[in-house]
A and B are shown apart, each in its own frame.
Chain A
Amino acid sequence: AQSVTQPDIHITVSEGASLELRCNYSYGATPYLFWYVQSPGQGLQLLLKYFSGDTLVQGIKGFEAEFKRSQSSFNLRKPSVHWSDAAEYFCAVGPLNSGNTPLVFGKGTRLSVIA
């Protein structure tokens, strides 16, 4: 069965510092991979996704993620964090060849940004 692990429940970074949020997945083949962000009281917004090709994926708001097959990881990065990036971040995985199988989400990482 598919699973997603986000090892960090809560991360605090200073504004302007770099950020890396970890995501590991368990799946028998290369899946579709996603990162979503959820601000308080808001729905989820897609930051970026990986289907195939270049393993470094660029997303919105200056975020990027790198797919590493050997490590079953899809870590999210941002070189310089802004206070508005404070939110909950979810990694999700979906099977490559089955459009009807639902996404499986990790438990999320809450990001706090301090001045």
Chain B
Amino acid sequence: EAGVAQSPRYKIIEKRQSVAFWCNPISGHATLYWYQQILGQGPKLLIQFQNNGVVDDSQLPKDRFSAERLKGVDSTLKIQPAKLEDSAVYLCASSTGLGHKSEQYFGPGTRLTVT
């Protein structure tokens, strides 16, 4: 079974530029998560989708971050414009359903460096 795929793996941009990350979850997984992991910290949830609907985006900085999952499968996370403090690893995860009994499977992440 293929795991969660993410691209690109690495990205370097200058502040005020825009960037987009892509995630392909495990086939059949209805729930998709985007996490931000700043160096030296644990992952922090940015947004959670159930199929193509948003379940939780309370920690998403909506003035610069956006995410979509139009067909309930792939998802993109965009930052526009980027700030220095956005430098982090962005992790995508998927699970079969809502609730913590549904194990989350994580992708390898995209490491973003903003200069």
Interface residues of A (CB under 8 A from B): 4, 32, 34, 41-46, 49, 51, 90, 92, 94-95, 99-108
Name the residue among B3, B45, B99, B100 with the largest chain A CB count within 10 angstroms: B100
CB neighbours (8 Å) of B106 from chain A are 43-45
Closest B residue, CB atoms, query A4:
B42
B45 touches A103 (CB 8 A): yes
8 A-B pairs (CB sep. < 8 Å): A44-B91, A99-B98, A101-B56, A102-B33, A102-B45, A104-B42, A107-B42, A108-B41
**Given known A-B contacts A100-B48, A100-B56, A44 and B43 have beta carbons under 8 A apart:** yes
**Structural contact, A105 and B4, CB atoms closer than 8 A:** no
> Contact: A43 with B91, CB < 8 Å?
yes
A46 partner residues in chain B, CB cutoff 8 A: 103-104
Question: If the complex has contacts A44-B43, A107-B40, A108-B41, are A99 and B100 also in contact, measured as CB distance less than 8 A?
Answer: yes
From 85 to 115 in chain B, residues with beta carbon under 8 angstroms from any chain A beta carbon are 91, 93, 98-101, 103-109
* Bound form: Cα–Cα A42–B55 in Å: 26
Known: A44-B104, A103-B104. 16 other contacts (CB 8 A): A4-B42, A43-B106, A43-B109, A44-B91, A44-B93, A46-B103, A90-B42, A92-B42, A100-B48, A100-B55, A102-B45, A102-B48, A104-B42, A105-B44, A107-B41, A107-B42
Most B CB contacts (10 A, CB to CB) among A34, A43, A44, A49 go to: A43
Q: A92-B42, A102-B45 are in contact. Are A51 and B107 (CB under 8 A)?
A: no
Our pick among B3, B91, B98 for the contact of A100 (Cβ within 8 Å) is B98
Chain A residues, Cβ within 8 Å of B3: 43
Shortest CB-to-CB span from A85 to chain B, Å, is: 18
Q: Closest approach, in angstroms, between the C-beta of A49 and any C-beta of chain B? A: 8
Residues of A within 8 A of B55 (CB): 100
